[in-house]
Amino acid sequence: MVSVTLYGGLDEIGGNKIIVEGEDDHRICFDFGRRMGYFNRFYDEFLQPRSKSGIRDFVKLGVLPSLDGIYRDFFLNIFSEFSMGEALNQEVIEHAQDYWKSDIESYEEYVEKHGKPFLDAVFVSHAHIDHIQDISYLSPEIPIFCSEETKLLVEVMTDVGKGGCEYEFYRYNEYELSLKNDSFRTMFPGSPQIKKKKYDDTPIKEHDFLPIELTYQKQRPMMRNYTAVEYGEKINIGDMWVTPIETDHSVPGSTAFMVEGEKNLLYTGDIRFHGDEEKTLEHFLNQVDKDIDILIIEGTRVDSQRNVTENDVEIELAKKFNQVKKLIFVDFPWKDLKRFSTILKASEANHRTLVVDPRLAYMLFRFHLEHPSVYPNPRELENVAVYKRRQASMLYSESDYKKIDAGYVDFWGRNRAKKDENLIRVKEKIDEGSANEDEIHAWELAMDHIMNGITAYEIRRSPEDYVLMINFWRMNELFDLGDLKGSHYVKCMCEPFNDEMQVDENKLINWLSHFDIGFDETLDKDGNRMIERSHVSGHASRPELKGMIKKLNPDHIIPVHTENPDEFKNIAKEVDHDIEVMIPKKGVEYEF
């Protein structure tokens, strides 16, 4: 017997949380992503989650499942290691405890009570927020398996991200309840507070490409228990054997998972067969060497017949770019390296330099270090430059930039003594003229975007030479780019699929219209104005999904990641197989 319980991805796009239990009570989970559509019913730009109360609040709202034995101990039991006798303000503590009491058992409590974890492992299909973000709340003791590229991309997302408890899906901080010291910085000594744990300064050298150590006042946050696995490698969890299978999606490292046990189960993750010419349906099916009893299949585009390929997008973009006499703006997801390659080829065909966001440059550099034969070094690409935004003081001052805004190194180090061989000390040695070649190289990596980045003022001198990566949240850049009449904006990402995205689309059109920037306009099915896309989806179309189901011929289908699950019943009838299509309910266990 095998059982399947879903806590997300039902009648919604994303938020997949799928628990599979084997015959011997071992459990695994496929993805643990944020239910973005459901989350946005409650929160918006000016109403954000309370970070330290995230687990409790989210469980009450239904954003997170109410499950014992999976969540971080501290956020459920902040008083577990704190003595009430230490508190000067016991009334505050007592009132706080009334709220912090939780009926949910943490991972540690569950293991102590039952002698084994509730959840043995999480298998991540790919690094999109709707598949990974809620990992932030899981206990770091739970092993996480994914492809090597997914692990690297999640690390990059953490490096360039905004931090905070709910973004600790790769690294995590340890927190503690303490009392404020009697110092000039507080009027309330002895009052309780929650802070990140402090550590002694620890020199660390994390990257092989840096010949120097980087010193922190606080230890770099802990890394979760990630394990990168190769495609085809079998991972044993109790009586289940899990095999990762290479797929194609709009981010690198996308993976499906096959589970062999009492029943054979296949989870597709997000999948397509029209992006990478090598990752066809046949390529995917050749990796599935077992009969499939249960198929958990995504259906984002189950109602779409359209099947544009990435090569089609490249041809279309090259033609569009050729028709524009001034600056070309292009909007595409910074994590989609396939789309980056497509846009770069179209830019090169029109003798233009593609000016990219620092996050994309940083990601490409990190991927190049790990896979130099597959991913080019962005510092060596003749037709690629990094955009240097005017921000902070608006003076293009070196002090305006930090982390990857400045270069390809996401931290600077801390120099408490000159014996520390970190980047700050390296700068001193460069000024002294005593730095060696490796140290100079390290400093150049840290400062590359400041020294070599392309500014708006350089672009406005010869706009016909550039393609600028930009999006709605960077519209303020238009003020510095001069006369934009004759320029053109190209959208290379998905259409709006909720009210918030449509509002942003309307605002974007207002910006473009005000600055006389051209764009191809169309209407959506509801008659709303929309920018026409040059885009290929990261999800399989209906014919592709039908072809996969026909070839696999499973006994049972469980649709996820779709707003049209009933459409799979029609597909099952069309393929003329005796397939049971199950439309599950959230939190209900289904046995096979």
- pLDDT, one tens digit per residue, over 497-515 is 677 778 888 999 999 999 9
What pLDDT is stored for residue 517 in this prediction? 97
Enumerate the CATH 3.40.50.10710 domain ranges in the chain, comma separated: 310-388+453-531
CA angle 345/349/350 to nearest 5° reads 120
What pLDDT is stored for residue 89 in this prediction? 56
State how beta strands 518-519 and 384-386 pair: unpaired
Q: What is the distance between the alpha carbons of residues 568 and 589, in angstroms, rounded to a whole number?
A: 21
Give me the residue label for tokens 């699929």: 497
Q: What is the distance between the alpha carbons of residues 36 and 498, in angstroms, rounded to a whole number?
A: 10
Please state which CATH class domain 3-173+221-302+541-591 belongs to: alpha beta
DSSP 495: P
Domain 310-388+453-531: give its CATH code.
3.40.50.10710
Q: What is the distance between the alpha carbons of residues 526 and 340, in angstroms, rounded to a whole number?
A: 31
Question: Pick from 285, 276, 303: which is nearest to 548 by CA?
Answer: 285
What pLDDT is stored for residue 208 in this prediction? 78
Enumerate the CATH 3.60.15.10 domain ranges in the chain, comma separated: 3-173+221-302+541-591
Q: What pTM did the predictor assign? A: 0.94
Residues facing 431 on adjacent strands: none
What pLDDT is stored for residue 553 in this prediction? 94
What pLDDT is stored for residue 337 in this prediction? 94
Taking 50 as the pLDDT cut, the residues of the chain under it are none
What pLDDT is stored for residue 483 in this prediction? 96
Give me the residue label for tokens 């041809």: 315
State how beta strands 240-246 and 235-237 pair: antiparallel
Provide the CA 300 distance to its chain's centre, in angstroms: 18
> Do 581 and 557 form a contact (C-beta atoms < 8 A)?
yes
Q: What is the distance between the alpha carbons of residues 463 and 326, in angstroms, rounded to a whole number?
A: 5
For the chain, the distance separating the N- and C-terminal CA atoms, rounded to the nearest angstrom, is: 6
Provide the CA 230 distance to its chain's centre, in angstroms: 20
Strands, E assignment, 137-174 = 144-147, 171-172
What pLDDT is stored for residue 217 in this prediction? 56
Question: Pick from 224, 254, 240: which is nearest to 153 by CA?
Answer: 254
> Do 32 and 324 form a contact (C-beta atoms < 8 A)?
no
Q: Would you state the structure tokens that stand for residue 566, as one six-digit string?
A: 């009933």
Q: Please, how many CA atoms are within 13 Å of residue 235, restricted to the half-sphere of its CB? A: 23
